[in-house]
Amino acid sequence: MSKITRRQFAAMSGAALIAGPAAAQTDQLLLRPIPSSGERIPTVGLGTASIFNRADEATRAKAAAVVNALVRNGGKLIDTASTYGDAELVMGDEIAKAGLRDKLFIATKVEEPDLAELKRSLSRLKTQKVDLLQLHNVNNGKQSLARFREWKAQGLCRYIGITSTFHGDFPAVEAALRGEKPDFVQVDYSLDVRTAEQRILPLAADVKAGVLTALPFGRNRLFRAVRGKALPDWAKEFAGSWAQFFLKYLLADPRVTAVIPGTGDPAHLIDNMGAMHGRLPDAKERAQMVAFIEAL
């Protein structure tokens, strides 16, 4: 199947980015509590991998536009990492210029429990602390988060977490969840890749860890799969676009705290945030969604 961008898909399908009553922005935003604290956050955030990795003028303009659109539409969560090129730097600059730090929940990742790496991230993000600090790509079942707890106690972060988008490392993620009980776990989870549903989500619920879902569009596989297809009539009861269809499948599981699709397009971001409006699919509809995608 040839590659297609989301912009090309929207143009080919002729569908509006935001359509139908399910995308109306008049109802209450869907918020979820962070299990370890009860603090409630909006359930659709912004991922930054491979989008804001260059600190050039065009990238900065995209970042400014999407950050402002995120806040204007009720969002808070931005997820980045020390290894995402210049993403921390670009995000930090644009957030500071707009004076939006206090309106955001900033999550970043470091590769090691290394203070120098953390200080570099804080400097690039232009903040004295991040809301969530995650150990990136956990692959050691005996991983300790002791340094992260120290940094949390020192006020350098408010929550700590672990991440992995490599399914081969899920045993290490499971061991770290059981042994370290972080505030958050971030994993690869989408309608067409549901391994985390059986392996990570139940354990996260047991240890009271919030769940962030990376790659909720499956690296755009899902958009390619529905290329040229209209949203089914039965799905229009809860989704106003394909993006909302894919995101609402994930959000219909109450163990998911937030989804973090990446985009540099404000219109796409607003479309994604439509998943926080209207009702979520029930168990029967979720099964129908799986069957629909598997039949393509």
Largest alpha-carbon pair distance within the chain? Answer: 53
What global pTM score does this model have?
A: 0.91
Q: Strand 105-110's sheet: what is its strand order?
A: 46-47, 77-79, 105-110, 130-135, 157-164, 184-188, 210-214, 258-259
Confidence band of 18 (pLDDT split at 50, 70, 90) = very low
Nearest alpha-carbon partner for 81 in 175, 165, 180, 201: 165
- Say what the pLDDT of residue 14 is: 36
- Kindly report, residue by residue over 243-272, the tens digit of the pLDDT: 999 999 999 999 999 999 999 999 999 999
- Say what the pLDDT of residue 5 is: 54
Distances (CA, A) of 15 to 176, 228, 243: 43, 10, 12
Average model confidence (pLDDT) for the chain?
A: 92
- Say what the pLDDT of residue 17 is: 35
Query: Which domains, from first to last, does the chain contain?
Result: 6-294 (3.20.20.100)
Q: Which amino acid is at 150?
A: E
Residue 115 has pLDDT above 60, yes or no: yes
Q: Is 140 exposed, middle or buried (0-12, 13-18, 19+ CB in 10 A)?
A: exposed
Stronger pLDDT, 30 or 3, i.e. the higher one: 30
- Kindly report, residue by residue over 24-67, the tens digit of the pLDDT: 334 699 999 999 999 999 999 999 999 999 999 999 999 999 99
Give the chain's radius of gyration (CA, Å): 18
Separation CA 260–CA 92 (nearest Å): 18
3-state helix, strand, coil in the chain (%, to 5): 45, 15, 40
Find the helix or strand (DSSP H, E) in which 295 lies. Answer: none
Residue 222 has pLDDT above 50, yes or no: yes
- Kindly report, residue by residue over 142-173, the tens digit of the pLDDT: 999 999 999 999 999 999 999 999 999 999 99
Taking residues 103-116, report their average pLDDT.
Answer: 98
